[in-house]
């Protein structure tokens, strides 16, 4: 029998009515569009009562000290019924394959059985987890695993488990992440192309210093009054500059490389300083005055270093291009970091270019929207996709006295 009704049945309910209601219940469960398990959890309940009587309160640490108990529970707690979707999810031919101890439900989900027991012991109403199952044909499936516990005064014997296949959703999410990574990688390559002159200049500086110091040191060595101290000093300058050149190349290579986005705790001020290294020469050579206001002691954000640098570089490249195009005599870019209302970490770029035409304001983040002759129109679309993937928001606006202001905010992990 599927349902056990505890307590007295009202007199007016005949056994026939009871049977009919059970039948309806059974049909409902069989046809439910979710894989469903009915589990008799009385044995676990009894074991928990005994533990409570012995004064056990912190069940999580108790179970971690006695892993045998979890293993034992997987054998004594039994599935009592399943529906059609449950059979097809586990690739079973008939219900009997699934009506047995619950052990098989946890075959690909490390630690889940323990967490299910802890939630039960603590009297929680349910437990929901993204995890995996191993079907009987050996395939591993990503699922949403939900346990609904009996809570007095409801029926005390039955725990219900529903398992929902979420592999398609997770696959779509994976593909979306890959697409986003490919998209931003393409953008980085494009930006590096645009900044090639600036980058070449930056590498050239330490190389020029190496040549000068090397030549001077050769001249010293050719003299009759050789000065070891002088040559040592020149040689150490050569080493320092060679290191600098190699650091620059390393930075460019990581910008150009295709990498899986990797989220780490980051200081946005540091990210901004690093991003500036790419574009500093561009800003200087165009006689733009750059001012930076880095708020001290900002909380760290969780993000991909290269992608966040890319956002800042894209915003700065746009500001430089806007300013140059406007032919302003005084050219200014201001960068600010802050903690926004609500605790998010903010980053702003202000420029004194021509600003954004009112009719364009709604479109600047669209892919392939560009007002520039040589623009593709992907810079801001990439910024939006990166910031979106970081759970943040980005916006652009005109400043009251001319020029544009772009701002993004990133959530601070709890
Ligand atoms: N700082 C700014 N001042 C004025 N207009 C801007 C500014 N930043 C962006 N825009 C406007 O938004 C449009 C879209 O910018 P976006 O960076 O997406 O593309 P793009 O710079 O035109 O080309 P790409 O970045 O692909 O080389 C720009 O063409 C420009 O019209
Ligand atoms: Mg751009």
Q: What's the per-residue H, E or C state across the chain?
A: CCCCCCCCCCCCCCHHHHHHHHHHHHHHHHHCCCEEEEEECHHHHHHHHHHHHCCCCCHHHHHHHCHHHHHHHHHHCEEEEECHHHHHHCCCCCHHHCCCEHHHHHCCCCCHHHHHHHHHHCCCCEEEEEEEEECCCCCEEEEEEEEECCCCCCCCCEEEEEEEECHHHHHHHHHHHHHHHHHHHHHHHHHHHHCHHHHHHHHHHHHHHHHHHHHHHHHHHHCCCCCHHHHHHHHHHHHHHHHHHHHHHHHHHHHHCCCCCCCEEECHHHHHHHHHHHHHHHHHHCCCEEEEECCCCCCCEEECHHHHHHHHHHHHHHHHHHHHHHCCCCCEEEEEEEECCCCCEEEEEEECCCCCCCCCCCCCCCCCCCCCCCCCCCHHHHHHHHHHHCCCEEEEEECCCCCEEEEEEECCCC
**Are β-strands 289-293 and 332-339 bridged in parallel, bridged antiparallel, or unpaired?**
parallel
Dihedral of CA 237/243/245/251: which sign?
negative
Phi, psi of 192 (to 5 degrees): -60, -35
Distance 352 CA to ligand 1 centre (A): 14
Give the Å distance between the CA of 282 and the centre of ligand 2: 14
Question: What are the structure tokens assigned to 231, written together?
Answer: 């040559």
Q: For residue 175, what are its two tokens?
A: 């593909």
Query: Which ligand 1 atom lies nearest to the CA of residue 353?
Result: 3
What pLDDT, in 10s, does the model give residues 283-307?
A: 999 999 999 999 999 999 999 999 9
Which residues have a Cβ under 8 Å from the Cβ of 244 and sit 6 or more positions away? 206
Atom of ligand 1 nearest to the CA of 351: 1
Separation between Cα atoms, residue 398 and residue 158, nearest integer Å: 62
**Structural domains of the chain ordered from first start:** 32-165 (3.30.450.20), 173-410 (3.30.565.10)
- 63-89 pLDDT per residue, tens: 999 889 999 999 999 999 999 999 999
Summary mean pLDDT of the chain: 90
Ligand 1: which atom is nearest the Cα of residue 378? 26
Give the ligand whose atoms come closest to the C-alpha of residue 365: 1
Distance from C-alpha of 314 to C-alpha of 395, rounded to nearest angstrom = 14
Spatial CB neighbours of 171, under 8 Å, sequence gap ≥ 6: none
Q: How far is the CA of 305 from the centre of ligand 1 (A)?
A: 23
Tokens for 48? 């928990």
Where residue 198 falls among pLDDT bands split at 50, 70, 90?
Answer: confident
Cα–Cα distance measured from residue 94 to residue 92, given in angstroms and rounded to the nearest whole number: 6
Question: And the tokens for 98?
Answer: 């699934």
Residue 29 pLDDT class (50, 70, 90 cuts): confident
pLDDT for the residue numbered 73: 92
Q: Which residues line ligand 1 (CB under 6 A)?
A: 314, 318-319, 322, 351, 353, 355-356, 360, 364, 369-372, 375-381, 404
Dihedral over alpha carbons 274, 275, 277, 283 (to 10 degrees): -150
- Is the pLDDT higher at 378 or at 7? 378
Pocket residue to mutate for ligand 1, from 323, 360, 375, 406, most atoms within 8 A of Cβ: 375
For 377: left if phi > 0, alpha if psi spans -120 to 50, otherwise beta; the answer is: left
For residues 6 and 141, the model is more confident at 141
Q: Which residue has the higher pLDDT, 117 or 151?
A: 117
CA distance 241 to 208: 9
Q: Binning pLDDT at 50, 70 and 90, where does residue 3 land?
A: very low
pLDDT score at 139: 95
Distance of CA 18 to the CA centre of its chain: 51
Whether the pLDDT of residue 328 is over 90: the answer is no
Whether the pLDDT of residue 62 is over 50: the answer is yes
Residue 4 has pLDDT above 50, yes or no: no
Do residues 142 and 117 make contact, with C-beta atoms less than 8 angstroms apart?
A: no
- The residue to mutate among 192, 310, 353, 372, having the most atoms of ligand 1 within 8 angstroms of its beta carbon, is 372
Say how many Å lie between the CA of residue 255 and the centre of ligand 2. 17
- The whole-number average pLDDT for the span 325-344 is 92
Q: What is the mean pLDDT of residues 241-252?
A: 92
Question: Which residue's CA is the closest to the ligand 1 atom numbered 29?
Answer: 370
- Closest ligand to residue 383's CA: 1
Spatial distance between the Cα atoms of 332 and 352, rounded to a whole number of angstroms: 6
> Strands 404-410 and 393-398, how do they pair?
antiparallel
pLDDT over threshold 70, residue 1:
no
Q: Which residue has the higher pLDDT, 14 or 384?
A: 384
Comparison of pLDDT for 47 and 313, the residue scoring more: 313
Ion ligand 2: residues, CB < 5 A: 318, 379
Residue 9 confidence (pLDDT) above 50: no
Q: What are phi and psi of 35, to 5 degrees?
A: -65, 125
How high is the pLDDT of residue 8?
45
| Dihedral angle computed from the Cα positions of residues 182, 186, 187 and 193, in that order, rounded to the nearest 10 degrees | 160
Share of the chain above pLDDT 70, in %: 95
Q: pLDDT tens for residues 87-99?
A: 999 999 999 999 9
Tell me the CA–centroid distance for residue 68 and ligand 1, in Å.
63
Mean pLDDT, range 29-38, rounded to an integer: 88
Distance CA 167, CA 220 (A): 70
| pLDDT score, position 26 | 78
Contact 389, 408 (CB under 8 A): no
Q: Is pLDDT of 13 > 90? A: no
**Could you tell me the two tokens for 280?**
């500093």
pLDDT more than 90, % of the chain: 67
What pLDDT does 227 receive? 87
């Amino acid at each position: 029998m599927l349902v056990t009704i505890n307590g007295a049945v009202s007199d007016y309910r005949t056994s026939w009515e009871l049977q009919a209601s059970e039948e309806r219940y059974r049909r409902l469960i069989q046809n439910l569009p979710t894989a469903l398990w009915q589990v008799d959890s009385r044995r676990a309940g009894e074991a928990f009562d005994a533990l409570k009587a012995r004064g056990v309160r912190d069940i999580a640490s108790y179970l971690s000290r006695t892993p045998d108990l979890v293993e034992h529970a997987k054998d004594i707690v039994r599935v009592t019924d399943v529906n059609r979707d449950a059979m097809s999810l586990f690739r079973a031919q008939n219900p009997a394959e699934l009506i047995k101890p619950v052990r098989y439900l946890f075959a690909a989900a490390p630690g889940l059985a323990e967490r299910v027991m802890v939630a039960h012991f603590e009297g929680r109403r349910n437990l929901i987890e993204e995890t995996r199952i191993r079907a009987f044909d050996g395939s591993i499936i990503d699922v949403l695993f939900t346990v609904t516990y009996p809570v007095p005064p409801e029926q005390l014997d039955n725990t219900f488990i529903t398992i929902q296949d979420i592999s398609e959703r997770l696959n779509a999410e994976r593909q979306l992440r890959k697409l986003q990574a490919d998209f931003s990688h393409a953008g980085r390559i494009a930006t590096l192309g645009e900044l090639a002159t600036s980058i070449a200049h930056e590498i050239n500086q330490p190389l020029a210093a190496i040549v000068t110091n090397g030549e001077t040191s050769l001249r010293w060595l050719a003299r009759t009054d050789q000065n070891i101290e002088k040559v040592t000093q020149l040689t150490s300058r050569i080493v320092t500059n060679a290191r600098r050149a190699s650091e620059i190349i390393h930075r460019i290579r990581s910008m150009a490389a295709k990498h899986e986005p990797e989220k780490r705790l980051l200081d946005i001020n540091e990210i901004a300083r690093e991003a500036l290294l790419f574009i500093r020469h561009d800003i200087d050579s165009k006689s733009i005055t750059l001012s930076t206001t880095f708020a001290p002691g900002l909380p760290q954000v969780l993000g991909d270093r290269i992608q966040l640098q890319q956002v800042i570089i894209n915003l700065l490249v746009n500001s430089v291009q806007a300013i140059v195009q406007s032919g302003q005599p005084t050219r200014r870019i201001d960068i600010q970091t802050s903690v926004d209302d609500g605790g998010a970490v903010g980053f702003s770029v202000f420029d004194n270019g021509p600003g954004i035409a009112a009719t364009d304001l709604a479109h600047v983040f669209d892919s392939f929207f560009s007002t520039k002759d040589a623009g593709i129109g992907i810079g801001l679309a990439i910024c939006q996709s990166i910031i979106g993937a970081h759970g943040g928001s980005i916006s652009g606006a005109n400043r009251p006295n001319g020029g544009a202001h772009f701002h993004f905010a990133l959530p601070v992990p709890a």
